[in-house]
Amino acid sequence: MDLDLRKLRYFVAVAEELHFARAAERLHIAQPVLSRQIRSLEHDLGTELFDRDRRGTLLTPAGKQLLEDALPLLASVQALTRRVKTAARDTPELTIGFMPGITLTPATVAFTGRHPGVNVRLLRTSWDDQVEVLRDGRADVSVVRLPVDQEGLEAPPPSTPGRT
């Protein structure tokens, strides 16, 4: 069985909203279409992903597991697409992840001055994904706020304030 990424994106929207109408609005599709796609995904997987009743929509244990696994999978697909498009370009690209409140302008200006042929792209991250963007390939480097799980990453030692 091949897993349809579109259905997976639809599932994530419903799982995050826990409301079919809001998810359909977020996805810019009609709610009956979304419901049919979710039923089709449940059929493909052979299990119900949501408990639906008059009180609302909840994830089943299988739905919780799918959501946990789907988020990094979809991020990896997005990163794969970015890397393939970058490889097809004549201009190399560097994607820098950064946390809000971190100013990258001086470093970006210095880098582009030394490497004018590289297209620099900035990717805003959060506490939850500041390291994941490196692991799944959405960013080539990232400026993070410590502490982070550095397993599998190369990181320079923290700088001492006032020293460069």
pLDDT at 160 over 70: no
163 found inside a domain: no
Collapsed DSSP state (helix, strand, coil) of residue 118: coil
157 found inside a domain: no
The pTM (predicted TM-score) of the whole model is 0.63
Q: How many domains does the chain have?
A: 2
The whole-number pLDDT of residue 148 equals 85
The verdict on 60 and 94 lying in the same domain is: no
Identify the domain boundary among 69, 97, 116.
69
pLDDT in tens, 116-148: 989 899 999 998 888 888 888 888 899 998 888
Count CB neighbours of 38 within 10 A: 24
Residue 49: domain span: 5-69
Provide the CATH number for the domain around residue 112.
3.40.190.10
pLDDT in tens, 57-92: 999 999 999 999 999 899 888 888 878 887 887 788
If pLDDT is split at 50, 70 and 90, which confidence band does 113 have? Answer: very high
What distances in angstroms separate CA 10 from CA 14, 16, 51, one per listed residue?
6, 10, 16
pLDDT at 164 over 60: no
The verdict on 56 and 108 lying in the same domain is: no
153 found inside a domain: no
What does DSSP assign to residue 114? H
pLDDT in tens, 20-42: 999 999 999 999 999 999 999 99
The verdict on 95 and 54 lying in the same domain is: no
